[in-house]
Amino acid sequence: MSALFACSTTMKQIKVFFTLILISTLLPLGLSSSQAQVSQFEQLTRASTVQFGRSPSKGSLSSKSLRLLVWNIHKGTDEKIPDDFGFVSHAADLTLVQEAISEKSFTTRLSDANPNLTWTLAISFELSKYNYTGVATGSIAQPLREEVIVSEVTEPILGTPKTVLLSEFDIDGREESLLVANIHGINFVSNNDFKIQINQMIDRVHQHQGPLIIAGDFNTWNEGRIDYLFEALAALKVRLVRTPDSGGFFSLDHIFVRGLTSRFVFNLNHINSSDHKPLLVDFLFE
């Protein structure tokens, strides 16, 4: 294990430690998703999206190979994010980002860093006036359809939800389409609330018969969450892709696939502009 990876693991341990402290403080107060009614975010239009980037250059994805990038970019707080993004997303067909933001100065830099992608951001909540955050999916191809899943459960105090963005893509020369679920898991809540969000997603994707990708920041910071995630996703016949950052202490970011085989897994643990490491994998369609 490299020193950089060890440092990443240590930082993740610290993050999990403080997460557990916060949860142990908040949950005894009896805070629940029902209290979201008093949140300042409750009036925000649900299932909303923000579009940015350039028009897609292709109408479908290649049936030969697929390069996938998954990365929680920490709301772009580090100035190096766009530059690092340009490096790690080079030649990516699909990019799944969590904690994306819609601020124009940021989206412009992101689009300039990789002009091949068209983007949809599924809004979780408003960070500041007209600046939203959520999950964002960038692709070289025009999606056949998109759907936003807003979590029924919300984070304590502020009552903010998390989102899942579903994107379906045509594949060259194949009747089956690819369905992609970009997820940011609910965080400072009980395991039962975490299960509710996972079940919400599964209810919306289980009928898809073709290739499937479910990936993102799942916030699986304890054994109960990890066990339930694997148990629930087993019904979809997906398998976990082993990545350099998925073997550490309470890994949060995962890639699950069906109908795809990983050909090459990149090690990007030297990228430190976010508190999460980017996951980059080349796939072949089965």
Are 13 and 280 in contact by the 8 Å Cβ rule? The answer is: no
Q: How far apart are CA 142 and CA 134, in angstroms?
A: 20
Q: Does residue 94 carry a pLDDT above 50?
A: yes
DSSP 211-224: -EEEEEE----SHH
Using the predicted structure, report yes or no on whether residue 16 has a pLDDT greater than 90.
no
- The yes-or-no verdict on residue 69 having pLDDT over 70 is yes
Q: What is the pLDDT of residues 186-226, one digit of tens each?
A: 999 999 999 999 999 999 999 999 999 999 999 999 999 99
Average of per-residue pLDDT across 145-167: 96
pLDDT of residue 37: 34
Residue 57: predicted pLDDT: 73
What was the pLDDT predicted at 135?
98
Rounded to two decimals, the pTM is 0.86
Q: Write down the number of H helices and E strands in the chain.
A: 5, 13
CA dist., res. 220 & res. 225, Å (int): 5
Give the ranges where the chain is alpha helix by DSSP (H).
3-26, 81-88, 104-113, 191-205, 223-233
Nearest Cα to Cα of residue 124 among 167, 69, 182, 195: 182
Domain span holding position 128: 3-285
CA distance linking residue 120 with residue 113, whole number of Å: 16
| CATH number where 100 lies | 3.60.10.10
Q: Among the listed ranges 43-57, 160-174, 247-261, which one has the minimum average pLDDT value? A: 43-57
Measured CA to CA in angstroms, residue 19 lies from 1, 4, 23, 39, 118 at distances of 25, 23, 6, 21, 34
Domain count for the chain: 1
Closest CA relative to residue 246, chosen from 273, 272, 268, 213:
268
Mean pLDDT of 63-87: 97
Residue 28 banded pLDDT, cuts 50, 70, 90: very low
123-146 pLDDT, tens digit per residue, is: 999 999 899 999 999 999 999 999
Query: What pLDDT, on the 0 to 100 scale, is given for residue 136?
Result: 98
pLDDT at 15: 54
Mean pLDDT in residue range 66-80: 97
pLDDT band at 56 (very low <50, low <70, confident <90, very high): confident
Q: Is the pLDDT assigned to residue 41 strictly greater than 60?
A: no
pLDDT at 237: 98
Residue 146's pLDDT is what? 97
Model confidence band, residue 33 (pLDDT cutoffs 50, 70, 90): very low
